[in-house]
């Protein structure tokens, strides 16, 4: 899937299907989003689902960016230069403890993901690209969706926040209305990791 909506800035890029069988879930999310008849009032949105099934290499590993998908992802980011960038991933229920554990700081070198609701996890993208491919003020987020997820409306509503907002501040403001406690932890993690308020 490769879709473009609107034109100009801010540029928004939604990507999925980066590794493993995640693309099966992210394709469904993107299809539901397109069917939801959203409107891009300002700027543009590019949606790219890379693959339905591919070899699993973590985006936290440098090796990922040497894979065919990783190289295509970097090329796309460098070509578009999005101000709002969201990676959509999917995970099996057995991975929930490791994705949300405080130990992730030691084992993976990144903060734990935050459970927004019903296992929908939120955090920042891999520091391997966050620190090299984006400006500090860009909004770069990661959404981990459970493989057996039923709350697609919640994901679509989040997408619409990303689409409507013009910058990171507007996104955070809207998310804080829905997830006040969760966003406090997201803010703490981001400040700790990037020395910058989200």
> In this predicted model, which residue has the larger pLDDT, 108 or 44?
44
User: Which pLDDT belongs to residue 184?
Assistant: 93
Q: Where are the domains of the chain?
A: 2-194
Residue 156 has pLDDT above 80, yes or no: yes
Whether 53 shows a pLDDT value over 90: the answer reads: no
Query: Which pLDDT does position 195 carry in this prediction?
Result: 59
pLDDT at residue 198 is higher than 80: no
Mean predicted confidence (pLDDT) in 48-59? 92
Question: Which of 74-83, 110-119, 146-155, 166-175 bottoms out in mean pLDDT, i.e. has the lowest?
Answer: 146-155
Query: What is the model's pLDDT at position 14?
Result: 98
Q: What pLDDT is recorded for position 158?
A: 95
pLDDT for res 189: 84
Cβ atoms within 10 A of the Cβ of 92, count? 11
* Residue 193 predicted with pLDDT over 80: no
- Written as one string, the DSSP assignment of 117-160 is ETTEEEEPPPHHHHHHHS-TTSEEEEEEEETT---HHHHHHHHH
| CATH match of 2-194 with 3.40.50 | yes
Give the integer Cα–Cα distance in Å for 106 and 173: 30
pLDDT in tens, 117-148: 999 999 999 999 998 999 988 999 999 999 98
The per-residue b/e assignment along 95-132, b for 16 or more CB within 10 angstroms, e otherwise, is ebeebbeeebeeebebbbbbbbeebbbbbbbbebbbee
Residue 152: pLDDT band with limits 50, 70, 90: confident
Instruction: Please state the rounded mean pLDDT for residues 5-28.
Output: 95
| Reported pTM | 0.93
């Amino acid at each position: 899937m490769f879709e473009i909506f609107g034109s100009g800035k801010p540029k928004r890029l939604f990507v999925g299907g980066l590794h493993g069988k995640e693309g099966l879930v992210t394709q469904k999310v993107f299809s539901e989003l397109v069917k939801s008849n959203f409107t891009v009032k300002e700027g543009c949105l590019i949606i790219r689902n890379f693959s339905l099934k591919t070899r699993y290499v973590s985006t936290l590993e440098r090796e990922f960016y040497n894979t065919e998908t990783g190289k295509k992802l970097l090329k796309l980011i460098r070509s578009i230069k999005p101000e709002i960038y969201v990676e959509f991933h999917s995970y099996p229920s057995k991975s929930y403890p490791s994705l949300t554990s405080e130990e992730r700081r030691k084992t993976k070198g990144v903060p734990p993901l935050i459970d927004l609701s019903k296992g929908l996890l939120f955090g920042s993208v891999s520091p391997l690209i966050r620190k090299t491919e984006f400006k500090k003020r860009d909004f770069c987020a990661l959404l981990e969706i459970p493989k057996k997820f039923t709350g697609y409306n919640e994901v679509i509503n989040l997408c619409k926040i990303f689409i409507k907002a013009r910058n990171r501040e507007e996104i955070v403001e809207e998310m804080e209305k829905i997830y006040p406690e969760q966003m406090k932890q997201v803010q703490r993690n981001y400040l700790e990791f990037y020395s910058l308020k989200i």
